[in-house]
A = this chain, B = another copy of it.
Amino acid sequence: MKKKFTIYDIANALNITAATVSRALNDNPNISKATKELVLKTAEKMGYEQNKLALALKSGKSNNVGVIVPRIDSNFFGSVIRGIEEELNPFGYHVIICQTNGDEAKEIANIDALLNSQVDGIFISTSSKDVASFERILRKDVPLIFFDRKKTMNNVSSVTINDFDGGYKATKHLIESGCRQIAHFSGDLNIEIFNDRFTGYKQALTDNGIDYIEEYVVKTRSNVEDGKKAVKKLLKLKNPPDAIFSSSDWDALGAIQELRAKNYKIPDDISVIGFSNEPFTKFMELSISTIDQFPLDMGKITAKVFLEQVNNSEKVKIEKKVVLEPELIIRKSTKKTLPKK
């Protein structure tokens, strides 16, 4: 077993006390230069490294933040986390990752675990219907910030994109390119982002005098298989759609694969637009129109909001709701031309 050296070891070696060593290492003004140099030299020689755990226990600050996401191996969440890490690292914070796979129970378990480990903040893209566990975070006075998938709560900051606008823009684009029977892959409508996209979709229809047809809306779960299934279902309708606005790029991909397998022409027979701007949408045979959510920025801004909050001299409560504007990206899977009329 190798030995880990502490300030007490340094103190013993120099016949001084740990308090002096601690002060010397922290460059405290009432330690003489001679002693400081001696301590520093000895620390160096022994390979001393500060135990952050002891410091964290004493100070109540762990310098860790927890990030809870459905999954980390998607480009979107990977980019958000990258943004958070890059922004926080210079301030000495570390990022603890937790995955929920969209499971509410796992999300609660993760929150508990993070609270136990005394993280200095929790950033979450939630999959929960309930806010009870978030209230527990607030009760412990731990900064909580939602990103992407938020819950609306008082005194809690959030960084999201305007999903309503994203849904609106995507749908409007389809309408402007001549489509009238526009289907929607919705995702779980209990989750705000999906509900907002859906609402944006409906609003765009209304604003353009198009009737909302309930059977055009299919609930999907952001994967290729669900996209295929959804298309199959839609094609069986007596009046199949001429466009699909999918709330996820993965469903859109599934839809496109299924449509092409059935020899539909995209975008001529059916236009398809996704959501998220996953890298693959750009490189595909038939590049997919989509909505960019700027995940890297979202991560960085989330981190900044957190930093503001902890540096706020703890007096006034900050509630900051940052809403990023999504961007429509038009590619080959939707028509660029104007209405046929």
A residues apposed to B, CB below 8 Å: 1-2, 4, 47, 49-54, 56-57, 62-64, 71-75, 78-79, 81-82, 85-86, 89, 92, 94-99, 112-118, 136, 139-141, 253, 278-280, 282-286, 296
Contact at A1–B141, with CB atoms within 8 Å?
yes
Other than the given A50-B116, A51-B116, A284-B285, 13 more pairs (CB < 8 A) read A2-B141, A47-B136, A49-B112, A49-B116, A49-B140, A52-B116, A53-B118, A72-B82, A85-B98, A89-B99, A95-B96, A96-B97, A278-B279
Closest to A94 in B: B96
Contact at B117–A94, with CB atoms within 8 Å?
yes
Q: Once bound together, how far apart are the Cα atoms of A105 and B125, in whole Å?
A: 32
- What are 24 pairs between A and B in contact, CB < 8 Å? A4-B140, A51-B57, A54-B57, A64-B64, A72-B82, A73-B75, A73-B79, A73-B296, A75-B75, A78-B78, A86-B99, A89-B98, A94-B98, A94-B114, A95-B96, A96-B96, A97-B97, A278-B279, A280-B280, A280-B282, A280-B283, A283-B283, A285-B285, A285-B286
Q: Once bound together, how far apart are the Cα atoms of A98 and B89, in whole Å?
A: 9
Contact at A72–B72, with CB atoms within 8 Å?
yes
Contact at A53–B56, with CB atoms within 8 Å?
yes
Q: Once bound together, how far apart are the Cα atoms of A47 and B278, in whole Å?
A: 42
Per assembly, the copies of the chain total 2
Closest to A95 in B: B97
Residues of B within 8 A of A75 (CB): 73, 75, 78
Contact at A51–B118, with CB atoms within 8 Å?
yes
Q: Once bound together, how far apart are the Cα atoms of A86 and B110, in whole Å?
A: 12
